[in-house]
Amino acid sequence: MQDPQTLLADIFGFDAFRSGQRDIVDAVCAGKNTLAIMPTGGGKSLCFQLPALARDGLTVVISPLIALMRDQVRALRAAGVQAGALTSGNTEEETDMVFDALQAGTLKLLYIAPERLASTGTRDMLSRANCTMIAVDEAHCVSQWGHDFRPDYLRIGELRRALGVPLAAFTATADAETREEIVTRLFDGVQPETFMQGFDRPNLNLAFEVKDGPRRQILDFANARRDQAGIVYCGTRAKTETLAQALREAGHSACHYHGGMDKDDRRDVERRFSQEDGLVVVATIAFGMGVDKPDIRWVAHADLPKSVEGYYQEIGRAGRDGTPADTLTLYGPDDIRFRRQQIDEGLAPDDRKAADHARLNALLGLAEALECRRKPLLEYFGDTDITCGNCDLCEKAPDTFDGTVAVRKALSAILRTGEYFGAGHLIDILLGNSTDKVQARGHDQLPTFGIGGEYDKRGWQAVFRQMMGRDLIRPDPSRHGAFRMTQAARPILRDEATITLRKDTIKKGANRPAVKT
């Protein structure tokens, strides 16, 4: 076997392995089953390409990203490596060349799209071709519950058993649950040698803002970063179009992107984004996995992402070159309600829904954090010993107050009205507003009526939003989003726990604190 260090210099032209790479390369070279979790941009491809060259025989690489496969094949060929790809994008000539090289036994790396695994011919071809290793890129695509699920990835385990060769799986996204699924489906439940790299991307600045004129907030953020490439993620297709228009009117070079556009138009945006400087793409999450531009300087979320995994993957597209990049995520009570509803009304089984609520909670935990955002983010992914200094809360600590009494009053309003109402009506009760609805329901007779005079309407909205964010209350989808108390709120209601809340950070009211204490 050739020496990895020599190959690193001779073929890849690098002086040294990056942190983590060497251990993975050694394990893969030694023919062990491996699972490597590395942040995007960490240098995953080298960890299977180099062992493929060091080892005898052919390595088959399964990847869902045709464009990236083709780039890698091109780069390997340019370095004098016998590599090829079988994808739907092949010309007949390319395909013939791959088959010739397979026959001659000279091919070292063969990239195939997962769809290929559906044909029995592929497996036969690979066993005849002296395939000695399988590498799986974007291994989280095997997870049925992730948003990148590829049904054909479920055939990879079968292929591994049929060929009886080691498998090396790579991914950048892997919460504990997805990791388990990868082990079950790719390795028959036998834990492979697992490598987890720190997830921190210290060059990414993290910031959240409560929505308060969201279009203006996005424009302000973009205006402060003129002529820098950026992505704005939106929750709906329609919004990508209107927001791109608004950005153009503000003098930006901007275009929209979503799954409803035809393929050519989408390709066109992808190409422009990678080639032009300073283009802003306003997109749904359809603009995603294949985006491979190292110098994206900022990512903004105009709406709250679906989960902490989604959030980190999306902002993770910025700053892959390692130089500073900024991110901003906007959110508000409607976002929280929308995301909860999406989970509740989905078709997943109950335990799955509970897990999805937990992933959303983890994200809301960042949104409503009191100290640092990076710390809870990375702890969620299992990192410890986190240093930050590069998030909006580390830069400026938020004003907080003891919200125990406020939360208890709000819970009391919810419970005394039978968990049947949303924030608007509950706030009217707390403020003692005798609206028609309040009178019609006799809610002006409740002991809770008018007990919340210490805050104004905005103040109470901030309290309810944070209660949602901390999962003390949830909108009930079967009651038009009326709030229900969760188990997590019981200790506060019973006076067994206290809670610290943020004074709100809505800019408009900056000189007039929305929450008086």
Per CB under 6 A, residues contacting ligand ADP are: 14, 17-18, 21, 38, 40-46
Note whether 166 and 93 are within 8 A (CB).
Answer: no
CA distance 218 to 301: 8
Any contact of residue 378 with Zn ion (CB under 5 A)? no
Which of the choices Zn ion, ligand ADP, none does residue 44 contact, using the CB cut-off of 5 to 8 A by kind? ligand ADP
Q: Which is nearer to Zn ion, 256 or 373 (CB)?
A: 373
Q: Which is nearer to ligand ADP, 253 or 274 (CB)?
A: 274
Please report, to the nearest 10 degrees, the dihedral formed by the alpha carbons of residues 206, 212, 216, 218 taken in order: 20
Which of the choices ligand ADP, Zn ion, none does residue 99 contact, using the CB cut-off of 5 to 8 A by kind? none
- Strands 482-485, 473-476: pairing is antiparallel
Which of the choices Zn ion, ligand ADP, none does residue 374 contact, using the CB cut-off of 5 to 8 A by kind? Zn ion
Q: Which is nearer to ligand ADP, 42 or 214 (CB)?
A: 42
Which of the choices Zn ion, ligand ADP, none does residue 45 contact, using the CB cut-off of 5 to 8 A by kind? ligand ADP
In order of 93, 427, 484, 504, the CA distances from 465 in angstroms are 59, 12, 13, 10
CA distance 219 to 242: 12
Which of the choices Zn ion, ligand ADP, none does residue 243 contact, using the CB cut-off of 5 to 8 A by kind? none
Tokens, residue 357: 């609520």
Note whether 248 and 280 are within 8 A (CB).
Answer: no
Residue entry with tokens 């309810």? 464
Q: Exposed, middle or buried by CB within 10 Å (0-12, 13-18, 19+), for 83?
A: buried
Note whether 203 and 324 are within 8 A (CB).
Answer: yes
- Please report how close the Cβ of residue 204 comes to Zn ion at its closest, in angstroms: 11
Which of the choices Zn ion, ligand ADP, none does residue 450 contact, using the CB cut-off of 5 to 8 A by kind? none
Q: Contact letters (x/-) for Zn ion, 60-99, by CB under 5 A? A: ----------------------------------------
Tokens, residue 28: 């893969």
Among 67, 394, 446, 488, binds Zn ion (CB under 5 A): 394
Among 29, 168, 186, 372, binds Zn ion (CB under 5 A): 372
CA distance 220 to 195: 41
- Please report how close the Cβ of residue 296 comes to ligand ADP at its closest, in angstroms: 13
Q: In what order do the strands lie in the sheet with 193-196?
A: 83-86, 109-112, 58-62, 131-136, 167-171, 34-37, 193-196
Q: Which is nearer to Zn ion, 394 or 446 (CB)?
A: 394
- Please report how close the Cβ of residue 47 comes to ligand ADP at its closest, in angstroms: 8
Q: Which is nearer to ligand ADP, 45 or 390 (CB)?
A: 45
- Please report how close the Cβ of residue 324 comes to ligand ADP at its closest, in angstroms: 18
Element of type H or E holding 282: strand 280-283
Of 106, 104, 105, 62, give the one whose Cα is nearest residue 85: 62
- Please report how close the Cβ of residue 49 comes to ligand ADP at its closest, in angstroms: 8
Interface with Zn ion: number of residues (CB under 5 A) = 5
Note whether 84 and 56 are within 8 A (CB).
Answer: no
In order of 92, 156, 352, the CA distances from 188 in angstroms are 36, 11, 22
Contact stretch for Zn ion (CB under 5 A) within 36-44, 127-135, 383-391, 474-482 = 383-391
In order of 220, 430, 448, 456, the CA distances from 416 in angstroms are 43, 12, 8, 21
Any contact of residue 388 with Zn ion (CB under 5 A)? yes
- Please report how close the Cβ of residue 508 comes to Zn ion at its closest, in angstroms: 25
Phi and psi dihedrals of 388, rounded to 5? Answer: -130, -100
286 by DSSP, 3-state: which?
Answer: coil
Which of the choices ligand ADP, Zn ion, none does residue 46 contact, using the CB cut-off of 5 to 8 A by kind? ligand ADP
Which of the choices ligand ADP, Zn ion, none does residue 228 contact, using the CB cut-off of 5 to 8 A by kind? none
- Please report how close the Cβ of residue 369 comes to Zn ion at its closest, in angstroms: 9
- Please report how close the Cβ of residue 136 comes to ligand ADP at its closest, in angstroms: 13
Angle CA 85–87–89, to nearest 5: 110
CA distance 31 to 167: 8
Which of the choices ligand ADP, Zn ion, none does residue 17 contact, using the CB cut-off of 5 to 8 A by kind? ligand ADP
Any contact of residue 369 with Zn ion (CB under 5 A)? no
Which of the choices ligand ADP, Zn ion, none does residue 14 contact, using the CB cut-off of 5 to 8 A by kind? ligand ADP
Q: Which is nearer to ligand ADP, 136 or 429 (CB)?
A: 136
Which of the choices ligand ADP, Zn ion, none does residue 40 contact, using the CB cut-off of 5 to 8 A by kind? ligand ADP
Q: Which is nearer to ligand ADP, 135 or 186 (CB)?
A: 135
Q: Which is nearer to ligand ADP, 231 or 473 (CB)?
A: 231
Phi and psi dihedrals of 392, rounded to 5? Answer: -60, -30
Among 374, 409, 458, 470, binds Zn ion (CB under 5 A): 374
The residues of the shown chain that bind Zn ion, judged by CB under 5 A, are 372, 374, 388, 391, 394
